[in-house]
């Protein structure tokens, strides 16, 4: 199984960026923690960060076909990135939307996500732990799909 953690604009600044809101861990620290969890679960983990929507789309187009799931914190693109939304919608694997902060308790513009409708689910407000929860969610989804496929080997329509 192969997953990716994808981070959008300004998330490369974690640790320095508004630490009272986003915490003092850097993105490297967070990815390292995620990598440790993934390794313990026998999962390969890729990671990618860009401040540019097109670069995020290029990554998803290129790597998406090789992935079994994506953990995506698109930063502010969450709220208006329609091209990114279309790239997520085109993926065959599930995507979990993550936000470090509880976007629903912040400015009204952060409550709207153009990504949520094309994601398997959303995890917000748990800081860096959200990325780890998202990995667990993707593993649980994969296990559920696997067991549904096994129990349907008789060929009945689900």
Tell me which of 4, 6, 56, 100 binds ligand DQA, using CB under 6 A.
100
Q: Least distance (Å) from ligand DQA to the CB of residue 119?
A: 13
Between 41 and 101, CB nearer to ligand DQA: 101
Q: Least distance (Å) from ligand DQA to the CB of residue 128?
A: 10
CB 70 within 8 A of CB 3: yes
Asked if 122 interacts with ligand DQA (CB under 6 A), we say no
Q: Is 99 a catalytic residue?
A: yes
CB 84 within 8 A of CB 110: no
Place of tokens 């949520």: 116
Asked if 99 interacts with ligand DQA (CB under 6 A), we say yes
Helix (H) or strand (E) holding 2: strand 2-7
Q: Considering only residues 50 through 79, tell me which ones interact with ligand DQA, judged by CB under 6 A.
A: 73, 75-76, 78
CB 65 within 8 A of CB 93: no
Q: What is the dihedral of CA 18, 78, 51, 43, to 10 degrees?
A: 90
Q: Which of 52, 99, 104, 131 is catalytic?
A: 99
Between 94 and 130, CB nearer to ligand DQA: 130
Helix (H) or strand (E) holding 71: strand 69-73
**Nearest residue to 115 via CA among 69, 79, 146, 148:** 79
Q: Which of the ranges 47-55, 63-71, 95-103, 135-143 carries the binding residues for ligand DQA, by CB under 6 A?
A: 95-103
Residues annotated as catalytic (active site), given as ranges: 22, 99
Which stretches of the chain bind ligand DQA, using CB under 6 A? Answer: 10, 73, 75-76, 78, 99-101, 103, 110
């Amino acid at each position: 199984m192969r997953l990716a953690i994808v981070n959008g604009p300004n998330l490369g600044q974690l640790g320095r960026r508004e630490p009272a809101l986003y915490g003092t861990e850097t993105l490297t620290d967070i990815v390292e923690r995620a990598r440790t969890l993934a390794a313990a679960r026998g999962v390969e983990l890729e990671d990618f960060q860009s401040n540019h929507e097109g670069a995020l789309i290029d990554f998803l187009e290129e790597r998406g076909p090789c992935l079994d799931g994506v953990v995506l914190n698109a930063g502010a693109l969450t709220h208006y990135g329609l091209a990114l939304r279309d790239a997520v919608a085109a993926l065959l694997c599930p995507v979990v939307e993550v936000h470090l902060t509880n976007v629903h308790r912040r400015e009204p513009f952060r409550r709207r996500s153009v990504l949520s409708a094309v994601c398997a689910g959303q995890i917000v407000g748990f800081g860096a732990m959200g990325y780890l929860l998202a990995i667990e969610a993707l593993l649980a989804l994969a296990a559920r799909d696997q067991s549904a496929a096994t129990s349907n080997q008789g060929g009945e329509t689900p």
